[in-house]
Amino acid sequence: MTLRVPTHGCPAIGCTKRVPNHLLLCLQHWRRVPRPLQAAIYAAHRRLAAASEEEYARDPGRQLNVLSAVKAIADKEGVAIPDWLTSRLSKLEGARA
């Protein structure tokens, strides 16, 4: 009997790797996220540890961090940033101000 770990797709643009649910990105892309942003992602994860799955997914600070990480990776890789990502980041940053 093989134990299957639940996974999701790495959210980096163009990545097709599957990642265990307890991780945000594949290792290759996680290493491209700037350290201060990694720290913010860890802090949000700790802050939301007791939250329900829905609260965790909907938290605007967590969403901003995740989308900022995806953008930072795309910038480093020279990948075009989709309009939806730019739009969503603008909305989240505006709500934060």
The pTM score is: 0.85
CA dihedral 48, 46, 87, 15 (to 10 degrees): -120
The two three-digit tokens of residue 77, written as one number: 């890789």
| Residue 89 tokens, joined | 């980041």
Element at 50 (helix H, strand E): none
Please report which confidence band the pLDDT of residue 72 belongs to, taking 50, 70 and 90 as the band edges.
very high
For the chain, give the percent of residues with pLDDT over 90: 65
Q: What residues does each domain of the chain span? A: 33-96
12: DSSP letter: S
Q: Give 47 or 81, the one with higher predicted confidence.
A: 81
User: 72 by DSSP, 3-state: which?
Assistant: helix
70: Cα separation from own chain's centroid? 6
